Amino acid sequence: MSRNEGRDRSAVSVIGLGQMGTRLAQAFLAAGYRTTVWNRTPAKADALAAQGADRASTVGEAVSAGPLVVVCLPDYDTVHDLLEPEGERLRGRVLANLSSGTPEAARRMAGQVTGHGAAYLDGAAMSGTRLVGHPDALFVFSGSPDAFATQQDVLASLGRSVHLGDDPALASLYDTALFGLAWGALAGFYHAVALVGAGGVDPTAFAAVAMSHMPFVTSLMADHARHIQDGRYPNDDGTVDVHAAAMDHLVHASRAEGIGAEVPELIKSLLERAAGTGHGEDGIASVVELITKGRRDVRAG
């Protein structure tokens, strides 16, 4: 007997079986939930059907199969085009949308979905496809708290599923912010690999040491978040001036090795501009004021 047998209706339907949707469906199956799948190109459901998924022949059939509909398509317009004709079938169900988009699109979709009498959860997969189904995979959701509470156990099959609040735009806001955070860290990593590589260091050997440096870096986030909240920037982790000088060394070292210096130049520029606005003796979290000021300037302009 497959793990899916013995349950009389689908716990979850997955619409869109691209790279991400396939991993989502696999995670639900692995957690023992009866899973119905639909994809525009039906052949992409073959492997999942072999793993125990029920195959829906239409979008409507997938929507009707159970209480939770998970959709993972390229963008919100595609989701809208596919699901709008199924509005009546959505009534009373929970739609969890894991397609990427903007906060505005999330709010718009929440209005459309709730207008059909369904509950809406906007979501974002924050750990690529490789960790889906693993406890370390982070999924963020926002929108109906009741819907999240009802479906929390099923959504926990995907990894660490976190509800951010009832504003459906929050998941998308976190998604974009965390994407930028990851890229900031990765840009620093790629630069560092190039620098040590110029000195003959193997990237994997460097990565092993770099990873052991990360707990220190993440510990700064918690402390600096408090500083930002208080609007006071203790300089226990070094002043803006000290960090600007150190970043200048990194720029020079990079140039001396003949590698690109764009990444440290960007950070040096931020630090120097922060110093120029009177934060030279403050802690480095004060750089946030410079960035936030950009927002005020845009609003004022």
- Residue from 4, 13, 21, 140 that binds ligand NAP (CB under 6 A)? 21
- Interface with ligand NAP includes 44 (CB under 6 A)? yes
- Interface with ligand NAP includes 62 (CB under 6 A)? no
* Residue 291 in tokens: 């960035």
167, exposed or middle or buried, with CB in 10 Å at 0-12, 13-18, 19+?
Answer: middle
Calpha distance 91→284 (Å, rounded): 50
Calpha distance 122→216 (Å, rounded): 32
Residue with smaller CB distance to ligand NAP, 41 or 229: 41
Stretch that binds ligand NAP, among 16-24, 27-35, 148-156, 269-277 (CB under 6 A): 16-24
Residue with smaller CB distance to ligand NAP, 133 or 145: 133
- Interface with ligand NAP includes 128 (CB under 6 A)? yes
Residue with smaller CB distance to ligand NAP, 85 or 128: 128
- Interface with ligand NAP includes 82 (CB under 6 A)? yes
- Interface with ligand NAP includes 102 (CB under 6 A)? no
Indicate the residue whose CB is closest to ligand NAP. Answer: 18
CB 270 within 8 A of CB 290: yes
Buried b or exposed e, range 39-65, using 16+ CB within 10 angstroms? beeeebbeebeebebbebeebbbbbbb
Calpha distance 244→50 (Å, rounded): 57
Q: From residue 228, how far is each of 54, 233, 292 by CA, in Å?
A: 50, 7, 11
Stretch that binds ligand NAP, among 19-27, 215-223, 245-253, 262-270 (CB under 6 A): 19-27
Calpha distance 295→301 (Å, rounded): 10
- Residue from 2, 19, 58, 292 that binds ligand NAP (CB under 6 A)? 19
**Chain contacts with ligand NAP (rule: CB under 6 A):** 16-21, 39-41, 44, 72-74, 78, 82, 99-100, 125, 128-129
